[in-house]
Structure 1
Amino acid sequence: MRLELPDATIVYDDVGEGEPVVFLHGSLCAEWLTPLARELTGFRRIAIHRAGYGGSEDRTSGVGVPEQAARCAAVLAELGVPRAHWVGHSAGADIALHLAHSRPDLAASLVLLEPALPRADDEPASTAMPAAIAEARTGAWEAAFHTFLTGCAGRTCAVCSRTGSAKRGSPKPSEAAATSSPGNRSRSPTGSSAHSR
């Protein structure tokens, strides 16, 4: 399904019946939460592709969290959904949290998976995400994966270290899938997940 907005086209899936649950992906992959959404039966599942990801289009030079939250609210209004449960990963978690703060009437509950940490005013902006997106747009998926993970988690990222991508450039897609599967996630010495976002 598609929602045309003045500054974006938002693509979303709307399947199932029951209480509505909205899924908001993080950066790099619009389908990140699709497997989870498929397994959650007994609910109406609304998976939104944020503008610039998947089939959605961003006709701006990029917008912040408040504008992305407003686009999600517009999808719910289009569907006639007055309130939903929200599941967000990384930047999607930030958007869900902002929406719950700015529009508490729309949020029945929140599940926030690895929310992206905000940047301090005096902290330099990371170039990892724009570089990873640029690489992905040229079809250099392995390089994009490596740039994203090392930019978010550093050169000592457990996935990069285990696959050798810190030394040879990037993991093979089969290695990346194997190391990022839920049952096979590496842990850092502190016990936290190897993936920061």
Structure 2
Amino acid sequence: MTEKFEGTEGKGKRSSSEETARGRKARRAKPPAEFLEWGSLPYRIGMGYDSHRFSEGRKLFLGGVKIDHPKGLLGHSDGDAVLHALIDALLGASGLADIGQQFPPDDPQYKDADSFSLLLQAAEMIDKQGYRSVNVDITIITEEPKIAPHTPAMRKRIMEALDLEPEQVSIKGKSNEGMGFIGRGEGVAVIASALLFKYKNRPGYKNLVR
């Protein structure tokens, strides 16, 4: 789509896509006045991923909740892939080392560790960095067990750990439609994202709290 315009050197054409691109460029020309440097923006986003295979003789924990299932998830700790992915999202958003470095899998003290306690420690870590959680979004990919019946309990646990309200925690269950190791019922994968707000150690934001 184009439009005609009159110029000093005669008639020409200008595409609407060119106008749109020009408008975007103008809007990006400088940040809002209150944030003169993009690095001073107070929000940070992190993403986390984890997957574990099912194993006989283990209890199944997802999102800090014990779920009745014939198999649990194999792992050095309790294998809670939901909380592990969430922890990585929180650590990533705050610029800290990932879960494997914070809680090494070869460290005996984390053998069969309660992942909820690790989440509480991660929450303390991001608080020391001056961050508070704004919201978290979690997708659990598995064929079994069905996730929906357990999401209220999972949300409650995560809200407790991160001091969040119900509308700030989203948990969804998805099938892999029979594809891959998940489709074959061999394990669980989880994707998590977290939005953090820098509420302290920033000029002008020292007194801001959620």
Q: Which has the higher contact order (CA 8 A, sep 6+)?
A: 2
Report which of the two structures shows the higher radius of gyration computed on alpha carbons.
2
TM normalised by structure 1 equals 0.32
Which structure carries more helix by proportion?
1
TM normalised by structure 2 equals 0.30
